[in-house]
A and B are shown apart, each in its own frame.
Chain A
Amino acid sequence: EAQVTQNPRYLITVTGKKLTVTCSQNMNHEYMSWYRQDPGLGLRQIYYSMNVEVTDKGDVPEGYKVSRKEKRNFPLILESPSPNQTSLYFCASSFLAGSGETQYFGPGTRLLVL
């Protein structure tokens, strides 16, 4: 089954404790992206990647890191989480044939930073 998976789905942590949220897709997509969703703000893009070893900042990259060492995986790293990073996070992927390609979203990771 074609899908985007994220782990963990729920995470409670404390300020300053490094964490990684994994994202994996099995559709051989070139393009992958991370969003955060906050009430009243919709989805905002954090980082995106056009292919292996190619990443770029989205609209809200501060406090986050990403890596793309393999085509299928695009982990999101919070080196020193803060309470303002409490949010719902979505990973998405698509083909890069054109910017009109459909993005497929993972189920989301709900993060609470105390």
Chain B
Amino acid sequence: AQSVTQPDIHITVSEGASLELRCNYSYGATPYLFWYVQSPGQGLQLLLKYFSGDTLVQGIKGFEAEFKRSQSSFNLRKPSVHWSDAAEYFCAVVTSYSGAGSYQLTFGKGTKLSVIP
């Protein structure tokens, strides 16, 4: 069965430090991959997505992610974290899609990011 794994439940970094959040997927075909961010008390906002082309994807708020097929990974990175980046981050992969357009989005369990001033 298709799945998404985020190995880190909680990460703490200092403001200004670099960040990498890990995401591994299990899916037979070429995956469609997403990173969403959820700020406290808010809904989810899309950071970036990958479904073809360049394996390094740029997103909003200075985030980027790299798709590595050989490692089944889609890790999220940011070179310098800001205090406002403290949130929960979810990796997601499209599963169960057909030519008729029916699809499901499967989410990882999330990684909570804390930022130390």
Q: Which residues of A contact B (CB under 8 A)?
A: 4, 30-31, 33, 35, 40-45, 48, 50, 56, 58-59, 90, 92, 96, 98-100, 102-103, 105-108
Which of B42, B104, B108 is the one whose CB lies under 8 Å from A59?
Answer: B104
Contact between B51 and A100 (Cβ–Cβ < 8 Å)? Answer: yes
B residues 96-117 near A (Cβ < 8 Å) are 97, 100-110
Chain B, interface size: which category? 20 to 34
Instruction: Name the distance in Å between B49's Cβ and chain A's nearest Cβ.
Output: 7
Query: Cβ of A30: which chain B residues have Cβ within 8 Å of it?
Result: 101
Query: Cβ of B102: which chain A residues have Cβ within 8 Å of it?
Result: 48, 50, 56
- Check if B80 is an interface residue, CB within 8 A of chain A: no
Contact between A50 and B42 (Cβ–Cβ < 8 Å)? Answer: no
Contact between A42 and B101 (Cβ–Cβ < 8 Å)? Answer: no
